[in-house]
Amino acid sequence: MAREDGRAAGAARSTTRAGRTDRVGALSAPAGEQRDDEKTDRDQTEQGEEARVATKAIVGEKVGMTQIWDDQNRSVPVTVLRVSPVRIVQVKTKDQEGYDALQVTWGHRRTSTLNKPERGHYDRAGVDAGRRLVELRVDDASSYEVGQELTAAIMQPGERVDATAVSKGKGFAGTMKRHNFKGQGASHGNHKMHRAPGSIGACATPARVFKGTRMAGRMGGQKVTTLNLEVVQSDPERELILVKGAVPGPRGGMVVLRDAVKAPVLKGGGS
């Protein structure tokens, strides 16, 4: 009986191993197909990332905020951007630099303030020196050429744009201002700890403070992008673009405008 039981157990183990082998084979057989699918997904993702690059962009200066009235006499808050004609200094392509971009400048600058590399860069392009050089990433730069000027007419009313700028620096700020903490109780038992953040860690476990804990620190002064802003007016003659809503950065700060890469889809099916 013991031998028969041992043989039965051995047969069961063999069957189990065979089943495992079959399952492993079944899983390993379509592995190539999964890799192909993953490759396809990766290619689609890369294509999607390439498609998310803006098709047109321009740089301007933030003047300030005001309000205008539309056709129905409704007040529209707008940010006024001064967009001087920008000159293309260099056209970067995928064949040479690995990506498409436009290096532009605007305004004017005395040649005596340039160092030799900067002067040679402008002389090679045949473009007058500007205030600074800015790179604008675009989907396809083949239609642009060195020396070409881009004006405010590149953005039309009704278009959706993304505004990128360096936000206002707020200095060292506490948790209530920086992270919107509500603060501690202002009534019984609280003594000069109303705006304190409170506990920041545990006891013996984990015996440390986790990285990324929201605490007081320097606030602002970072690159910020506001998405899907609407262009209300575009006036190339006065070199102005009016954008609905707030744009990051202080007055006089540089702002990069590009057509929205995540434009909302309207109910009617338009974008």
Residue 25 lies in a domain: no
Residue 42 lies in a domain: no
**What pLDDT shows up at residue 205?**
86
Statement to judge: residues 133 and 91 lie in one domain: yes
Residue at a domain's end among 150, 166, 193: 150
**CATH classification at residue 236:** 2.40.30.10
> Closest Cα to residue 84, out of 191, 236, 258, 199?
236
Residue 252: phi and psi, rounded to 5, are: 90, -5
Statement to judge: residues 134 and 168 lie in one domain: no
For residue 168, pLDDT beyond 80: yes
Statement to judge: residues 121 and 226 lie in one domain: no
> Closest Cα to residue 137, out of 106, 164, 155?
164
Mean pLDDT of 98-110: 94
For residue 74, pLDDT beyond 90: yes
Percent of the chain scored above 90 by pLDDT? Answer: 68
Mean pLDDT of 141-168: 95
Which is higher by pLDDT, 133 or 30? 133
Reported pTM: 0.73
Written as one letter, the residue type at 96 is Q
Q: Are 100 and 138 in contact (CB under 8 A)?
A: yes
Mean pLDDT of 77-87: 96
Which is higher by pLDDT, 28 or 67? 67
Statement to judge: residues 156 and 249 lie in one domain: yes
Residue at a domain's end among 130, 150, 170: 150
Which is higher by pLDDT, 47 or 86? 86
Q: Which structural domain, as residue segments, surrounds residue 104?
A: 86-150
- Pairing mode of beta strands 160-166, 223-235: antiparallel
**What pLDDT shows up at residue 104?**
96
Statement to judge: residues 237 and 257 lie in one domain: yes
For residue 6, pLDDT beyond 90: no
Statement to judge: residues 134 and 229 lie in one domain: no
Statement to judge: residues 178 and 59 lie in one domain: yes
Statement to judge: residues 63 and 140 lie in one domain: no
**What pLDDT shows up at residue 88?**
96
Statement to judge: residues 169 and 61 lie in one domain: yes
Residue 197 lies in a domain: no
Mean pLDDT of 144-170: 95
Q: How many domains does the chain have?
A: 2
Separation between Cα atoms, residue 265 and residue 15, nearest integer Å: 56
Statement to judge: residues 61 and 156 lie in one domain: yes
For residue 60, pLDDT beyond 70: yes
**CATH classification at residue 145:** 3.30.160.810
**What pLDDT shows up at residue 22?**
47
